[in-house]
């Protein structure tokens, strides 16, 4: 029995299987499928493509219906996504590659073949090869076609093959691209099938590429130099997060996957690079949810002689410009689950987000006090922990231990202030306890020159006037160490090497970081981070809960 019947042998209709499961062929079935391919077409080493499908469409789309350009010679390659047998001498294939589709109009009268018998010029041998070859083709096969351009009677651009060969047979059942794969576990674990069968997936990653390209171009146009810093640190630093720990046999010590490139980038500014940026991966050993993945992509840049006021203007210009460039408008529609009507659990409500500058700017502590309707205690003093904890309990704000000033204030801000930031909103002047690497405010006591940009209720950017006083930096690290001793695994560790570097002089500097995955989520209209990462982190199959 040929593999084309595998779908039914698995006990369900093809349509049902294509939407809820992806059965695997047995070794015997896979070998049976492989042996059905003509011997001379089993995994050739190369195929001389003359143009892409996109180039083919651009060059020949203007042909008239029924046209045949027999004097043109073209070689195309791609994956078969549909097969239609009009007769034993006429077969239509849909060939797909790189997001484009071209019809293959295969007629026996134009077919030359390439088998041993066909090479003799025997017409019957050519017909036999044509029929044998086309009967062996299956959806999912990757083929190469050499022929000439033409159009069908209905005016569909086609290539008419003189020769056709299987470059890589699909020996597993190929899901029905008409219905796609809907089950999230399969989509995220088998991203290649997700891309092949769900046409809405590829544009997400095209959007991602545009976003990265837009950020890089914006910074390079302003004389920032792109650099690379280590992924493995001797000390985890640059952000309040729990690191992944590994070990080096050669060095004989533990190393940490970076949680941020910040400290190295600032050392480059100390070394004389006034404008630097890095786009790359960072790793945080924390929970997985709609906006968090253990491995994610950020861009950080540092600009000497700038402060957080200048960076707010830069962020506004860069992000609004990228939104307009990628989507064609400053205004986008975004599915926010928080805005869904009661009882509408399947479809989050769509809200309009407006990236038109200028963005709203709110002082963070004053806004929190306004939401609470009362003054806050000294949020930087450990003596205020009981009062902050009482505030959380009174307003049903959950905060797991350890109860530090940083964690309690952060939970209150997350509960009261962040959800109000649907349109792009800068929250600025964070308390010192929350900002160990930010410079103290030049006028206001107890706060730092820091801002975060929130969109759709989620943090998108974080920036500040960099702390360049080595003595103040050592005091801040000591405070963070005290929080670590209270059990806060996310508190910033001490970094003596960085403090020593500061003693050589860091000029007044503004530093900025943006989460690229979250920006792509917004511009692609996706509420879950797994939708915008090619291969997201997944729980083991046996333990994976339904997403």
Contact between residue 318 and residue 305 where contact means Cβ atoms under 8 Å apart: no
Residue with tokens 């046999």: 249
Q: Given this model, what pLDDT does residue 490 score?
A: 64
Pairing of strands 275-283, 225-226: parallel
Alpha helices of 374-526 — where are they, by DSSP H? Answer: 385-394, 405-416, 470-485, 496-502, 516-524
Q: In a 10 Å sphere around its CB, with 0-12 CB exposed, 13-18 middle and 19+ buried, how is residue 533 labelled?
A: buried
- Cis-peptide, bond into residue 485, ω within 30° of zero: no
3-state secondary structure 7-50: HHHCCCCHHHHHHHCCCCCCHHHHHHHHHCCCHHHCCCCCCCCC
Q: Which two tokens stand for residue 496?
A: 């003596």
Contact between residue 111 and residue 161 where contact means Cβ atoms under 8 Å apart: yes
Three-state DSSP at 473 gives: helix
Q: What phi and psi, each to the nearest 5 degrees, are found at residue 516? A: -65, -40
Contact between residue 309 and residue 361 where contact means Cβ atoms under 8 Å apart: no
Query: pTM (2 decimals)?
Result: 0.87
How many Cα atoms within 13 Å fall on the side-chain side of residue 339? 16
Which strand ranges, in their side-by-side order, compose the sheet holding 275-283? 225-226, 275-283, 295-304, 509-515, 458-465, 450-455, 425-428, 360-363
Q: Given this model, what pLDDT does residue 341 score?
A: 41
Residue with tokens 């910033």: 492
Three-state DSSP at 58 gives: helix
Query: What is the rounded CA–CA span in Å between residue 303 and residue 483?
Result: 30
Contact between residue 312 and residue 302 where contact means Cβ atoms under 8 Å apart: no
Alpha helices of 77-225 — where are they, by DSSP H? Answer: 123-136, 184-189, 191-197, 202-220
Q: For the chain, what's the residue count?
A: 547
Q: Given this model, what pLDDT does residue 471 score?
A: 95
Residues 240-264: b if buried by 16+ CB within 10 A, e if exposed: bbebeeeeeeeeeeebbbbbbbbbb
Q: Given this model, what pLDDT does residue 123 score?
A: 82
Q: Given this model, what pLDDT does residue 176 score?
A: 78
Cα dihedral sign, 228-231-232-234: positive
CA distances from 202 to 128, 198, 293, 332, 418 (A): 39, 8, 20, 19, 31
Residue with tokens 């253990």: 294
Residue with tokens 């003595």: 471
Q: What structural domains does the chain harbor? A: 38-168 (2.40.50.140), 202-541 (3.30.930.10)
Query: What is the rounded CA–CA span in Å between residue 473 and residue 491?
Result: 14
**What are the mean pLDDT values of the chain's consecutive 10-residue runs (547 residues total)?**
34 37 62 62 88 98 96 97 95 97 96 64 82 93 97 96 94 81 88 92 97 99 98 79 90 93 96 98 92 96 98 98 98 77 59 98 98 96 95 95 94 97 98 94 97 98 97 89 75 81 98 98 96 92 52
**For the chain, first and last CA: distance in Å?**
37
**304 pairs with which residues across the strands?**
509
CA angle 109, 115, 116 (to 5 degrees): 120
């Amino acid at each position: 029995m040929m593999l084309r019947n595998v779908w039914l042998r698995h006990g369900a209709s093809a349509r049902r299987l294509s939407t809820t499961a992806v059965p695997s062929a047995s070794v015997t079935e896979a070998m049976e499928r492989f042996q059905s391919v003509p011997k001379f077409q089993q995994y050739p080493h190369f195929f001389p493509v003359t143009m892409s499908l996109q180039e083919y469409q651009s060059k020949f789309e203007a042909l008239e219906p029924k046209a045949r350009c027999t004097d043109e010679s073209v070689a195309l390659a791609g994956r078969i996504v549909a097969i239609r047998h009009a007769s034993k001498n006429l077969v239509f294939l849909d060939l797909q590659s790189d997001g484009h589709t071209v019809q293959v109009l295969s007629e026996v009268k134009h077919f030359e073949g390439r088998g041993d018998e066909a090479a003799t010029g025997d017409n019957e041998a050519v017909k036999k090869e044509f029929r044998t070859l086309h009967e062996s083709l299956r959806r999912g096969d990757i083929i190469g076609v050499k022929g000439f351009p033409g159009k069908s009677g209905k005016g569909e651009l086609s290539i008419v093959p003189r020769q056709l060969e299987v470059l890589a047979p699909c020996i597993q059942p190929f899901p029905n691209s008409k219905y796609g794969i809907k089950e999230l576990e399969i989509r995220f674990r088998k991203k290649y099938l997700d891309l092949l069968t769900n046409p809405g997936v590829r544009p997400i990653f095209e959007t991602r590429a545009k976003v990265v390209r837009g950020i890089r171009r914006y910074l390079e146009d302003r004389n920032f130099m792109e650099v690379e810093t280590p992924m493995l640190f001797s000390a985890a630093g640059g952000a309040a997060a729990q690191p992944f720990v590994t070990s080096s046999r050669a060095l004989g010590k533990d190393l940490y996957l970076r949680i941020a490139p910040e400290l190295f980038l600032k050392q480059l500014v100390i070394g004389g690079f006034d404008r630097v940026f890095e786009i790359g991966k960072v790793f945080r050993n924390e929970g997985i949810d709609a906006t968090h993945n253990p491995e994610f992509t950020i861009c950080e840049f540092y600009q000497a002689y700038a402060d957080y006021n200048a960076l707010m203007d830069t962020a506004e210009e860069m992000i609004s410009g990228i939104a307009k460039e990628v989507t064609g408008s400053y205004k986008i529609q975004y599915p926010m689950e928080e805005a869904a009507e009661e009882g509408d659990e399947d479809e989050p409500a769509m809200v309009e987000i407006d990236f038109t500058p200028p963005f709203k700017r709110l002082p963070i502590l004053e806004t929190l006090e306004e939401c609470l309707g009362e003054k806050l205690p000294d949020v930087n003093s450990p003596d205020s922990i009981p009062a902050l904890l009482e505030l959380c309990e009174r307003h049903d704000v959950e905060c797991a231990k350890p109860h530090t000033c940083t964690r309690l204030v952060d939970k209150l801000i997350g509960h009261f202030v962040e959800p109000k930031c649907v349109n792009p909103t800068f929250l600025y002047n964070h308390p010192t306890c929350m900002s160990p690497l930010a410079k103290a405010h030049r006028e206001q006591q107890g706060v730092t020159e820091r801002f975060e940009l929130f969109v759709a209720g989620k943090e998108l950017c974080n920036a500040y006037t960099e702390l360049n006083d080595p003595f103040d930096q050592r005091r801040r690290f000591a405070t963070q160490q005290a929080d670590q001793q209270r059990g806060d695994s996310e508190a910033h560790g001490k970094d003596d090497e960085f403090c020593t570097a500061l003693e050589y002089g860091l000029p007044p500097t503004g530093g900025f970081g943006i989460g690229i995955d979250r920006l792509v989520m917004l511009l692609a209209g996706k509420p879950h981070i797994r939708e915008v990462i090619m291969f997201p982190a997944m729980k083991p199959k046996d333990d994976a809960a339904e997403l």
